[in-house]
Protein backbone atom coordinates (compact mmCIF):
# COMPACT_ATOMS: atom_id res chain seq x y z
CA UNK A 1 0.00 0.00 0.00
CA UNK A 2 1.50 3.37 -0.93
CA UNK A 3 2.34 5.67 1.92
CA UNK A 4 2.93 9.40 2.05
CA UNK A 5 6.57 10.44 2.34
CA UNK A 6 7.25 13.79 4.00
CA UNK A 7 10.76 15.22 4.09
CA UNK A 8 11.53 18.20 6.32
CA UNK A 9 14.56 20.49 6.50
CA UNK A 10 14.64 20.57 10.30
CA UNK A 11 14.23 17.97 13.01
CA UNK A 12 11.74 20.28 14.75
CA UNK A 13 9.34 20.13 11.81
CA UNK A 14 9.82 16.36 11.53
CA UNK A 15 9.09 15.94 15.26
CA UNK A 16 5.91 18.01 14.92
CA UNK A 17 4.79 15.86 11.98
CA UNK A 18 5.43 12.69 14.02
CA UNK A 19 3.57 14.02 17.04
CA UNK A 20 0.49 14.96 15.05
CA UNK A 21 0.05 11.73 13.07
CA UNK A 22 -0.44 8.36 14.75
CA UNK A 23 0.40 6.53 11.51
CA UNK A 24 3.68 8.38 10.98
CA UNK A 25 7.02 6.67 11.45
CA UNK A 26 10.44 8.27 11.18
CA UNK A 27 12.72 6.74 8.56
CA UNK A 28 16.39 6.70 9.55
CA UNK A 29 18.51 4.10 7.81
CA UNK A 30 15.48 2.08 6.73
CA UNK A 31 16.52 -1.21 8.31
CA UNK A 32 13.45 -1.25 10.59
CA UNK A 33 10.82 0.88 8.85
CA UNK A 34 11.40 -0.44 5.32
CA UNK A 35 11.31 -3.98 6.69
CA UNK A 36 7.93 -3.24 8.23
CA UNK A 37 6.65 -1.67 4.99
CA UNK A 38 7.91 -4.59 2.90
CA UNK A 39 6.05 -6.91 5.25
CA UNK A 40 2.87 -4.93 4.59
CA UNK A 41 2.57 -3.18 7.97
CA UNK A 42 -0.66 -1.22 7.50
CA UNK A 43 -0.12 0.76 10.72
CA UNK A 44 2.33 2.97 8.80
CA UNK A 45 0.58 5.55 6.64
CA UNK A 46 3.21 8.28 6.57
CA UNK A 47 7.00 8.20 6.45
CA UNK A 48 8.71 11.23 7.95
CA UNK A 49 12.30 12.15 7.10
CA UNK A 50 14.54 15.06 8.06
CA UNK A 51 17.55 16.31 6.13
CA UNK A 52 18.81 18.16 9.23
CA UNK A 53 22.63 17.91 9.33
CA UNK A 54 22.57 18.11 13.14
CA UNK A 55 21.29 14.51 13.14
CA UNK A 56 24.52 13.39 11.45
CA UNK A 57 26.90 15.15 13.83
CA UNK A 58 29.46 13.41 16.07
CA UNK A 59 31.00 15.36 18.94
CA UNK A 60 33.60 13.06 20.47
CA UNK A 61 36.51 15.37 21.29
CA UNK A 62 35.79 15.77 25.02
CA UNK A 63 35.12 13.32 27.83
CA UNK A 64 31.40 13.33 27.04
CA UNK A 65 30.43 12.24 23.54
CA UNK A 66 27.29 13.17 21.64
CA UNK A 67 26.24 11.20 18.58
CA UNK A 68 23.48 12.37 16.25
CA UNK A 69 20.60 9.94 15.86
CA UNK A 70 21.25 9.68 12.11
CA UNK A 71 24.88 8.58 12.49
CA UNK A 72 25.45 5.15 10.95
CA UNK A 73 27.47 2.32 12.47
CA UNK A 74 29.98 2.64 9.61
CA UNK A 75 30.56 6.29 10.65
CA UNK A 76 31.11 5.23 14.26
CA UNK A 77 33.71 2.65 13.18
CA UNK A 78 35.45 5.37 11.13
CA UNK A 79 35.65 7.74 14.13
CA UNK A 80 38.87 7.25 16.07
CA UNK A 81 37.58 9.07 19.16
CA UNK A 82 34.76 6.52 19.48
CA UNK A 83 37.07 3.50 19.79
CA UNK A 84 35.12 2.23 22.81
CA UNK A 85 32.02 1.89 20.60
CA UNK A 86 33.74 0.15 17.68
CA UNK A 87 33.10 -3.38 18.98
CA UNK A 88 29.33 -2.87 19.40
CA UNK A 89 29.10 -1.10 16.02
CA UNK A 90 31.08 -3.84 14.28
CA UNK A 91 28.90 -6.56 15.79
CA UNK A 92 25.86 -5.31 13.86
CA UNK A 93 24.91 -6.73 10.46
CA UNK A 94 27.20 -6.88 7.44
CA UNK A 95 28.82 -3.84 5.77
CA UNK A 96 25.59 -2.82 3.99
CA UNK A 97 23.55 -2.80 7.20
CA UNK A 98 26.30 -0.82 8.94
CA UNK A 99 26.23 1.73 6.09
CA UNK A 100 22.48 2.13 6.62
CA UNK A 101 21.53 1.42 10.25
CA UNK A 102 21.65 4.36 12.64
CA UNK A 103 22.26 4.89 16.34
CA UNK A 104 18.80 6.43 16.77
CA UNK A 105 17.05 3.56 15.02
CA UNK A 106 18.87 0.97 17.12
CA UNK A 107 17.08 2.36 20.19
CA UNK A 108 13.84 1.03 18.69
CA UNK A 109 15.14 -2.40 17.65
CA UNK A 110 13.59 -5.10 19.77
CA UNK A 111 15.10 -8.48 20.64
CA UNK A 112 17.11 -10.13 19.06
CA UNK A 113 18.29 -6.83 17.54
CA UNK A 114 19.38 -3.59 19.19
CA UNK A 115 22.92 -4.63 20.19
CA UNK A 116 24.30 -1.09 20.10
CA UNK A 117 21.64 -0.04 22.60
CA UNK A 118 22.95 -2.70 25.02
CA UNK A 119 26.30 -0.88 24.99
CA UNK A 120 24.59 2.51 25.46
CA UNK A 121 22.57 1.15 28.37
CA UNK A 122 25.73 -0.03 30.14
CA UNK A 123 27.27 3.40 29.51
CA UNK A 124 24.29 5.16 31.14
CA UNK A 125 23.60 7.21 28.01
CA UNK A 126 21.02 9.95 27.78
CA UNK A 127 18.69 10.34 24.82
CA UNK A 128 17.71 13.77 23.47
CA UNK A 129 14.12 13.68 22.24
CA UNK A 130 12.34 16.43 20.34
CA UNK A 131 8.57 16.42 20.70
CA UNK A 132 5.82 18.93 20.09
CA UNK A 133 6.60 20.33 23.54
CA UNK A 134 10.28 20.97 22.81
CA UNK A 135 13.52 19.06 23.29
CA UNK A 136 14.33 17.12 26.48
CA UNK A 137 16.95 14.69 27.73
CA UNK A 138 15.81 11.29 28.98
CA UNK A 139 17.88 8.60 30.68
CA UNK A 140 18.23 5.61 28.37
CA UNK A 141 16.61 3.23 30.85
CA UNK A 142 13.52 5.39 31.13
CA UNK A 143 13.53 5.85 27.35
CA UNK A 144 13.59 2.11 26.69
CA UNK A 145 10.73 1.47 29.09
CA UNK A 146 8.48 3.84 27.19
CA UNK A 147 9.91 3.68 23.67
CA UNK A 148 6.76 2.26 22.11
CA UNK A 149 4.81 5.26 23.38
CA UNK A 150 7.42 7.87 22.45
CA UNK A 151 5.93 10.72 20.47
CA UNK A 152 8.59 12.78 18.81
CA UNK A 153 11.99 12.34 17.30
CA UNK A 154 15.27 11.16 18.83
CA UNK A 155 17.90 13.81 18.06
CA UNK A 156 21.02 12.36 19.62
CA UNK A 157 22.45 10.19 22.35
CA UNK A 158 25.26 11.17 24.68
CA UNK A 159 27.39 9.40 27.22
CA UNK A 160 30.57 9.76 29.23
CA UNK A 161 33.62 8.05 27.70
CA UNK A 162 34.74 5.11 29.87
CA UNK A 163 37.65 6.02 32.17
CA UNK A 164 39.83 3.34 30.53
CA UNK A 165 39.58 0.85 27.68
CA UNK A 166 39.34 -1.95 30.25
CA UNK A 167 36.45 -0.30 32.11
CA UNK A 168 34.01 -0.96 29.27
CA UNK A 169 33.49 -4.45 27.87
CA UNK A 170 31.13 -5.74 25.24
CA UNK A 171 30.35 -9.14 23.79
CA UNK A 172 27.73 -10.44 21.40
CA UNK A 173 27.17 -14.20 21.34
CA UNK A 174 26.15 -15.47 17.90
CA UNK A 175 25.80 -18.86 16.28
CA UNK A 176 27.31 -17.68 12.98
CA UNK A 177 30.53 -15.70 12.61
CA UNK A 178 31.25 -13.01 11.67
CA UNK A 179 27.62 -12.01 11.15
CA UNK A 180 24.67 -13.36 13.04
CA UNK A 181 21.70 -12.42 15.17
CA UNK A 182 22.22 -12.19 18.90
CA UNK A 183 21.82 -15.25 21.09
CA UNK A 184 22.63 -12.89 23.93
CA UNK A 185 24.50 -9.58 24.06
CA UNK A 186 26.36 -8.32 27.11
CA UNK A 187 27.97 -5.00 27.99
CA UNK A 188 29.59 -3.97 31.26
CA UNK A 189 30.86 -0.63 32.49
CA UNK A 190 33.12 -1.15 35.50
CA UNK A 191 34.59 2.12 36.81
CA UNK A 192 37.02 1.56 39.68
CA UNK A 193 38.19 3.65 42.57
CA UNK A 194 41.09 2.46 44.77
CA UNK A 195 40.80 -1.01 43.24
CA UNK A 196 37.07 -1.33 43.93
CA UNK A 197 34.20 -1.13 41.49
CA UNK A 198 32.06 1.95 41.91
CA UNK A 199 28.93 2.45 39.81
CA UNK A 200 28.93 -0.89 37.94
CA UNK A 201 26.44 -1.18 35.09
CA UNK A 202 25.72 -4.41 33.28
CA UNK A 203 23.33 -4.48 30.33
CA UNK A 204 21.90 -7.50 28.54
CA UNK A 205 20.31 -7.94 25.12
CA UNK A 206 17.98 -10.78 24.04
CA UNK A 207 17.27 -11.58 27.71
CA UNK A 208 13.90 -9.77 27.63
CA UNK A 209 11.78 -8.07 24.93
CA UNK A 210 13.73 -4.86 25.64
CA UNK A 211 17.40 -4.44 26.57
CA UNK A 212 17.71 -4.46 30.35
CA UNK A 213 20.16 -4.02 33.21
CA UNK A 214 21.26 -6.99 35.31
CA UNK A 215 20.82 -5.10 38.56
CA UNK A 216 21.43 -8.05 40.90
CA UNK A 217 24.73 -8.76 39.17
CA UNK A 218 25.61 -5.04 39.43
CA UNK A 219 24.93 -5.16 43.19
CA UNK A 220 27.21 -8.18 43.50
CA UNK A 221 30.06 -6.13 42.00
CA UNK A 222 29.48 -2.85 43.79
CA UNK A 223 32.23 -1.75 46.17
CA UNK A 224 34.24 -4.94 45.64
CA UNK A 225 37.47 -5.72 43.82
CA UNK A 226 36.98 -7.62 40.56
CA UNK A 227 38.25 -10.96 41.89
CA UNK A 228 37.09 -14.55 41.41
CA UNK A 229 34.61 -14.46 44.32
CA UNK A 230 32.98 -11.25 43.13
CA UNK A 231 32.80 -12.48 39.54
CA UNK A 232 31.17 -15.75 40.65
CA UNK A 233 28.58 -13.86 42.69
CA UNK A 234 27.76 -11.60 39.73
CA UNK A 235 27.55 -14.54 37.31
CA UNK A 236 25.20 -16.39 39.67
CA UNK A 237 22.88 -13.37 39.78
CA UNK A 238 22.89 -12.73 36.01
CA UNK A 239 19.46 -14.22 35.27
CA UNK A 240 17.57 -12.31 37.96
CA UNK A 241 14.85 -10.14 36.49
CA UNK A 242 15.30 -11.48 32.95
CA UNK A 243 12.52 -12.92 30.79
CA UNK A 244 14.09 -14.31 27.61
CA UNK A 245 11.96 -15.92 24.92
CA UNK A 246 12.44 -18.76 22.45
CA UNK A 247 13.35 -17.83 18.90
CA UNK A 248 15.10 -19.44 15.94
CA UNK A 249 18.52 -18.53 17.36
CA UNK A 250 18.13 -20.06 20.83
CA UNK A 251 15.58 -21.14 23.41
CA UNK A 252 14.78 -19.14 26.53
CA UNK A 253 16.20 -22.03 28.59
CA UNK A 254 19.51 -21.92 26.71
CA UNK A 255 19.78 -18.16 27.12
CA UNK A 256 19.23 -18.48 30.88
CA UNK A 257 21.83 -21.25 31.05
CA UNK A 258 24.58 -19.35 29.24
CA UNK A 259 24.17 -15.76 30.40
CA UNK A 260 26.07 -16.41 33.64
CA UNK A 261 28.82 -18.25 31.78
CA UNK A 262 29.36 -15.38 29.35
CA UNK A 263 29.10 -12.74 32.07
CA UNK A 264 31.83 -14.59 33.97
CA UNK A 265 34.02 -14.61 30.84
CA UNK A 266 33.34 -10.92 30.15
CA UNK A 267 34.22 -9.90 33.71
CA UNK A 268 37.31 -12.15 33.80
CA UNK A 269 38.55 -10.75 30.50
CA UNK A 270 38.51 -14.22 28.89
CA UNK A 271 38.05 -14.63 25.17
Partner 1 sequence: MSKSALQFLHNGREVAIFVDGGTSLLVTLRELIGDMTPKFGCDQGGCGACSVLIDGELHLACLTLAETVSGRAVETLDGLKDGPNLHPLQRAFADNFAAQCGYCTPGMLMAAKALLDRNPSPTRADVVEAISGNICRCTGYEPIISAVLVAAAGGRTRA
94 touches partner 1 by CB under 8 A: yes
Closest approach of Cβ 247 to partner 1, in Å? 14
Alpha helices in the chain (DSSP H): 11-20, 33-38, 73-78, 86-90, 95-100, 103-106, 115-122, 140-145, 215-221, 228-236, 252-268
2-31 residues in contact with partner 1 (CB under 8 A) are 2-5, 7, 27, 29-31
Contact criterion met (CB below 8 Å) for 126 and 138: yes
Binding partner 1 (rule: CB under 8 A), the pick from 68, 93, 105, 152 is 93
Rounded-to-integer distance, Cα 103 and Cα 95, Å? 15
Complex with partner 1: residue 47 or 184, whichever CB lies closer: 47
Closer by beta carbon to partner 1, 97 or else 151: 97
Q: How far is the CB of 41 from partner 1 (least distance, A)?
A: 10
Provide the minimum distance between the beta carbon of 24 and partner 1 in the complex, in angstroms, as a whole number: 12
156 binds partner 1 (CB under 8 A): no
The span from the CA of 153 to the CA of 164, in Å, is: 32
Q: Point out which span in 87-95, 135-143, 239-247, 260-268 binds partner 1 (CB under 8 A).
A: 87-95
* Residue with smaller CB distance to partner 1, 100 or 236: 100
Between residue 169 and residue 198, which ones bind partner 1 under the rule CB under 8 A?
178-179
**Least gap, CB of 37 to partner 1 (angstroms):** 5
- Name residues whose C-beta falls within 8 Å of residue 242's C-beta, 6 or more positions apart in sequence: 204, 207, 208, 212, 214, 255, 256, 259
225 touching partner 1, by CB under 8 A: no
Residue 249 binds partner 1 (CB under 8 A) = no
Nearer to partner 1, 97 or 163 (CB): 97
* Shortest CB 208 distance to partner 1, Å: 23
List CB contacts of 24: < 8 A, sequence separation 6 or more: 6, 17, 18, 44, 45, 46, 47, 48
Is the distance from CB of 222 to CB of 197 less than 8 angstroms? yes
Which residue, 37 or 234, is less far from partner 1 as judged by CB? Answer: 37
For residues 103 and 31, is the Cβ–Cβ distance under 8 A? no
From the list 94, 12, 99, 80, the residue with the least C-alpha distance to 48 is 12
Under a CB-based contact definition with an 8 Å cutoff, are residues 159 and 64 in contact? yes
Residues 28-67 that bind partner 1 (CB under 8 A): 29-31, 34-35, 37-39, 44, 47, 49
Residues in contact with partner 1 by CB under 8 A are 1-5, 7, 27, 29-31, 34-35, 37-39, 44, 47, 49, 74, 93-97, 99-100, 178-179
Amino acid sequence: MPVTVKTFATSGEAAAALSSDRGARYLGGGTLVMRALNEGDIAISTIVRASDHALMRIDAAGSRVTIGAGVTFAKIIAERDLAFLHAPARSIGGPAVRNMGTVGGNLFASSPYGDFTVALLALDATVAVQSGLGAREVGIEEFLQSRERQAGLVLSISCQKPASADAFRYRKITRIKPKGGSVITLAAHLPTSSGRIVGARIALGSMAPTQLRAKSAERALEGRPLDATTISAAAAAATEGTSPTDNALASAWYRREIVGVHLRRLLSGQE
